[in-house]
Structure 1
Amino acid sequence: MRNELILYIVNIVERCIRCIHEIYDNNPKHLENRVKRDTIILNLQRACEGCITLAMHIVAEKKIGLPHNNMEAFNLLETGGVIPSSLSKKMKDLLLKDYQDINLDSLKKILDHRLVDFFHYTKTILSY
């Protein structure tokens, strides 16, 4: 699925994740630097907001349903056949985090293992 708004939001999400990769550089020591950690967290939040915006937009555009909250938008994408249930679950898990209060171990796990989920989500949306 491609239109100007979707491409714009996908670009924002992917740019945020690339920025995180660049700052983190697979080095947990970078999380000890407050400025780097805050930049990573802010980019994670922006990426999450972009994913939510994409979900809400597609649900509305495809008339899949009326989500009552952010998480329900991902359920509707799943039931509408836009994204698989495994990806819906992963995205909801990422979006449930309170990144301002996240501990360093949890943040490190996300940075080491979960950033790829954002790219998987955007690619799935674009290929729909």
Structure 2
Amino acid sequence: MSNYSPQSRKEEDRLSKEIIGAAIEVHRHLGPGLLESAYEECLCKELEIRDIVFERQKPLAVVYKGITLDCGYKLDIVVEGKVILELKSVNKIESIHDAQLLTYLKLSDLKLGLLINFNVPILKEGIKRIVNNL
């Protein structure tokens, strides 16, 4: 049973809005068609400008039977230890991208992730919220 509170939900919703605003700003300046790494670099700079705390390329281990295993997972960006951002620059978001972010959410015990595909004409169409029901 999760101890997920309405206060946590409000905080994640607030963060989500701030993150989406930052991502839209990056997309407005760069447009679609660049490599993911360019968007990651610029989004991190935009989060920094907005005084939003984040970790970049954070390693994520798998704990199996009490043993920590390094599977090589790296989270693109984790905002304030609460929201995982998985960035893409692809023609279309596929179910494997959803599964990737959901895996990261489950392994990290976090509730909310944003899948952001910058390779779209209007960024709102490239953003997907993924929720881990814990």
TM-score bin (small chain): 0.3 to 0.5
- Give the TM-score, by structure 1 length: 0.35
- Give the TM-score, by structure 2 length: 0.34
**Which has the larger strand fraction?**
2
Higher relative contact order (CA 8 A, sep 6+): 1
